[in-house]
Amino acid sequence: MCAALGWFPGPLGNPGIGPFLWEKLAIPVGLIVPVGAIFLALLINYGLMEFIGVLVQPIMRPVWKVPGRAAVDAVASFVGSYSLALLITDRVYREGRYTGREAAIIATGFSTVSATFMLIVASTLELMDRWTLYFIVTLVVTFAVTAITVRIPPLGTIPDEPHEDAEHDPEPEARGNRLRHAWDEAMRALHTAPSLPRGTWATFRDGVLMSSAIVPSILSVGLAGLLLATYTPVFDVIGWLFVPFAWLVQLPDPALAGKAVSVGIAEMFLPATVVASHPSEVLRFTVGVVAVSQIIFFSALVPSILATSIPVSVWRLVVLWIERVILTILITAPLAHLLLLVV
pLDDT, tens only, 263-307 = 889 888 788 878 888 899 999 999 999 999 999 988 778 888 988
Q: Is 313 helix (H, G, I), strand (E, B) or coil?
A: coil
pLDDT digits (tens, 9 = 90+) for 100-157: 999 999 999 988 877 777 887 888 798 989 999 999 999 899 999 999 999 999 998 9
Q: How far apart are CA 258 and CA 124, in angstroms?
A: 19
In one letter, which amino acid is 37? A
DSSP state of 2: T
pTM for the model: 0.83
Distances (CA, A) of 123 to 6, 119, 199, 277, 341: 29, 6, 40, 12, 20
What sections of the chain are H helices per DSSP? 18-19, 27-44, 48-64, 70-79, 82-94, 100-109, 115-124, 131-149, 178-192, 196-217, 223-231, 234-239, 243-248, 254-262, 270-274, 281-293, 301-306, 314-342
Task: Show me where the domains of the chain are located.
Answer: 14-166+176-342
What is the CB-side half-sphere exposure of residue 323 using CA atoms within 13 A? 21
Contacts of 44 (CB under 8 A, 6+ apart): 72, 88, 91, 92, 203
Taking alpha carbons only, the member of 239, 225, 332 closest to residue 284 is 332
Highest mean pLDDT among 87-91, 165-169, 336-340: 336-340
Structural Rg of the chain based on CA atoms: 20
Q: What pLDDT does 113 receive?
A: 73
Q: How far apart are CA 327 and CA 325, in angstroms?
A: 6
Taking alpha carbons only, the member of 102, 90, 99 closest to residue 168 is 99
Q: How far apart are CA 34 and CA 11, in angstroms?
A: 31
Q: What pLDDT does 57 receive?
A: 83
Length of the chain: 343
Q: How far apart are CA 143 and CA 246, in angstroms?
A: 21
Q: What pLDDT does 119 receive?
A: 83
Q: What is the mean pLDDT of the chain?
A: 83
